[in-house]
Amino acid sequence: MSTPTLTDLPPFRNEPIAELRRGGERERLAAGMGAVDAALPLRVPLWVGDERREGDELVSTDPGAPGRVVAVAPVATAADVDAAVRAAAAAYPRWCARPARERAEVLVRAAAWMRERRAELAALAVRECAKPWDQADGDVCEAIDFLEFYARGAVALERGKELFQVPGERNELHYAPRGVVGVISPWNFPLAIPMGMVAAGLATGNTVVLKPAEQAPACGLKVVEALREAGLPAGALALVPGFGEAGAALVRHPGVATIAFTGSGPVGLDILRAAAEVPAGGRQLKRVVAEMGGKNCVIVDSDADLDDAVPAIIASAYRYAGQKCSAAARVLAHEAIHDALLERLAGAVEVLQVGPADEFGTDVPAVIEQDARDRVERYRAAARETGRIAAERTEGLPAEGWFVPPTVAADLPPDSPVLREEIFGPLLTVERVRDVDHACDLVDELPFALTGGLFCRNPHTVDHVVRRSPVGNLYVNREITGAMVGRQPFGGNRLSGTGTKAGGPDYLLHFVEPKVVTENTVRHGLVI
Ligand SMILES: NC(=O)c1ccc[n+]([C@@H]2O[C@H](COP(=O)([O-])OP(=O)(O)OC[C@H]3O[C@@H](n4cnc5c(N)ncnc54)[C@H](O)[C@@H]3O)[C@@H](O)[C@H]2O)c1
């Protein structure tokens, strides 16, 4: 692999997404799947420094064909987590002493490693998390983007900030890493999200312990392999597979300075509470970067172009079976167009293709696991009981796998949990509103504030909704998913997160602390 130096690095640009309409691209991905399938089940180790321990207490399976075992892994105990944090702490002094440009070179080489294996990595996300091909390829691209973006960002951050200077005094502001970062990731972006958090920690000079989602240990392993193959010192990044208990042990470890978490609201709140306790022997306040769930609303005004709105809402609600944190959950439709919009959305849902993630035509794959299917089914039953199912695609559902019919529900009572709780599946609700302000009131009532959408043609309405909207990412006249690194820094407000923006110019600041040095430069004579 060639070793790029910082002077070679071109400005950041997003990794181009594969064009699946081209036969050659589909063949490339299918070959990647052949290679992945031939190697199943993968053995994911607990990997601390140069020590690898295998096990099979944790089993990840294909959500679309649960009989297919994708990976087996050991479950990290509290003692394993302790060993991983100690190893990361031991590696910290040397890694943080490296200039940012050297650390950046490791990240850029890891991006190259992933680029070379793009088809196999996408295929693994298809198998382990039932991501349809376009989504899986997008996941790999986003992981590459995070590496490239944070590599450049850390080099810029190392220059510090200009301060006001007066004669006889020199003031400098620099950013220093904080120590060991515990990264706890979800399964729905099984490569991009852990890679983003890990890369941010490493780029800024911290060392990292990664606890990947229990549903996606094999993708977690690829994150670690990419960086280690790129020359990262073994101690600088450990992999501790396991369930929530392993994450909880990492959060509570006195040696962890920063916790980067992406996942559900209840777990995020538990982490924030636990991190506020300074453990015996702790010498640092823990910092928590938490990206959590949402209940994302799309407002459709009376003048909206429904030809634009319908496909964009369908894609936002059902792509990857609604399992993106940014997915559309509620449509708030102006009463003048409500009936027409609902009819068209219902028609679109009835022709969605539900099927295995590895089929190129699939729109809606299986949800991640049986619990997820049962949860979405409970909300569907509640919607049927207290409101109305306007459309559901039940035809063609495979008999095996955790499939849920994509569904549109309407006429729900305002206090329905279906309208208020994060469902995280292919269930969209449609409500009638008097006007845009009524819609904004409903959005404002929610404790979540992750993404939102607006379809309208009046620029004054756009300005008004922008002012009233609490969400972290508002999309106007387009889909509300698919944030791109560097273009749409991503993250929620209120109970959707601590207000961080992954893939944005401020993200790395969460992984460092500022240090100011003030020197008296008036001559005092020479000390001999
Ligand atoms: N805001 C965002 O950017 C974003 C992005 C992706 C997913 N999400 C959210 O993530 C959720 C789906 O992911 P999930 O099901 O993997 O979430 P989850 O909260 O169940 O699990 C996330 C991670 O936390 C670990 N964990 C569980 N209990 C823990 C505990 N007590 N202490 C420490 N760690 C613990 C899990 O093992 C896993 O690795 C949804 O709510 C979705 O909205 C948010």
CA of 19 to the centre of ligand 1 (A): 30
pLDDT of the residue at 527: 63
Six token digits for residue 480: 């509300």
Q: Calculate the alpha carbon distances from 167 to 38, 160, 164, 520 in Å.
A: 69, 21, 11, 9
Query: In terms of Cα–Cα distance, which of 132, 52, 107, 325 is closest to 223?
Result: 107
Question: How many distinct helices (H) and strands (E) make up the chain?
Answer: 15, 21
Average pLDDT rounded to a whole number, residues 332-341: 98
Q: What is the pLDDT of residue 14?
A: 98
Q: Return all residues near 207 (Cβ < 8 A) that are at least 6 apart.
A: 88, 89, 91, 92, 95, 96, 179, 180, 181, 201, 235, 236, 237
Q: Which residue has the higher pLDDT, 295 or 396?
A: 295
Q: What is the pLDDT of residue 282?
A: 76
Q: Is the pLDDT of residue 1 over 50?
A: no
Per-residue pLDDT averaged across 158-174, rounded? Answer: 96
Kindly report the number of other CB atoms within 10 A of residue 257's CB atom.
24
- For residue 251, the CA-to-ligand 1 centroid distance in Å is 13
Q: What is the pLDDT of residues 415-452, one digit of tens each?
A: 999 999 999 999 999 999 999 999 999 999 999 999 99
Instruction: Give, for ligand 1, the residue of 146, 271, 292, 295 to mutate: max count of ligand atoms closer than 8 Å to Cβ.
Output: 292
Considering the candidates 325, 392, 456, 479, report the single residue annotated as catalytic: 325
Q: How do residues 18-45 score in pLDDT, each as one tens digit?
A: 999 999 999 999 999 999 999 999 999 9
Q: pTM of the predicted model, to two decimals?
A: 0.97
286 close to 510: Cβ distance less than 8 angstroms: no
Q: Is 219 a catalytic residue?
A: no
- How far apart (Å, rounded) are the C-alpha atoms in residues 207 and 311? 43
Strand order in the sheet with 328-334: 388-392, 407-410, 427-433, 328-334, 296-300, 451-455, 473-476
Does the pLDDT at position 7 exceed 60?
no
pLDDT value of position 5:
54
Sign of the C-alpha dihedral, residues 101, 140, 233, 508? Answer: positive
Name the amino acid, one letter, at 468.
R
Residue-wise pLDDT for 491-520, tens only, equals 999 999 998 899 999 999 999 999 999 999
Burial of 22 (0-12, 13-18, 19+ CB in 10 A): exposed
Question: For residue 119, which amino acid is it?
Answer: A
Is 247:218 a contact under the CB 8 Å cutoff? Answer: no
Beta bridge partners of 51: 48
Q: Which two tokens stand for residue 434?
A: 């008097």
pLDDT at 8 over 70: no
Amino acid at 328: A
Q: What are the pLDDT digits (tens) for 110-132?
A: 999 999 999 999 999 999 999 99
How many Cα neighbours within 13 Å face the side chain of 307? 0
From 382, 416, 403, 395, select the one nearest 349 (Cα to Cα): 395
Task: Tell me the best of 188, 191, 316 to mutate to test the pocket of ligand 1, counting ligand atoms within 8 Å of each CB and taking the most.
Answer: 188
What is the rounded distance in angstroms from the CA atom of residue 350 to the CA atom of residue 393? 5
pLDDT (mean) for 258-267: 98
Q: In this structure, what token pair is assigned to residue 290?
A: 């938490």
Residues 207 and 233: their CA atoms lie apart, in Å, by: 10
Whether 155 and 65 have beta carbons less than 8 Å apart is answered as: no
Burial 319-339 (b: 16+ CB within 10 A, else e): bbbbbbbbbbbbbbbbeebbe
Q: What is the pLDDT of residue 283?
A: 84
- Phi and psi of 448, rounded to 5°? -85, 155
Average pLDDT in the chain:
96
**DSSP calls for 13-29:** -PPPPP-TTSHHHHHHH
96 catalytic per annotation: no
Question: Which residues does 479 contact at the CB level (< 8 Å), separation at least 6?
Answer: 312, 315, 316, 453
Q: Indicate whether 210 pLDDT > 70.
A: yes
Q: Are 158 and 173 within 8 A, CB to CB?
A: no
Q: What is the pLDDT of residues 215-251, one digit of tens each?
A: 999 999 999 999 999 999 999 999 999 999 999 999 9
For 53-79, write each residue's pLDDT tens digit.
999 999 999 999 999 999 999 999 999
Q: Is the Cβ–Cβ distance between 224 and 47 less than 8 Å?
A: yes
pLDDT over 60 at 4, yes or no = no
- For the stretch 174-195, pLDDT in tens is 999 999 999 999 999 999 999 9
Residue 518 CA to ligand 1 centre (angstroms):
42
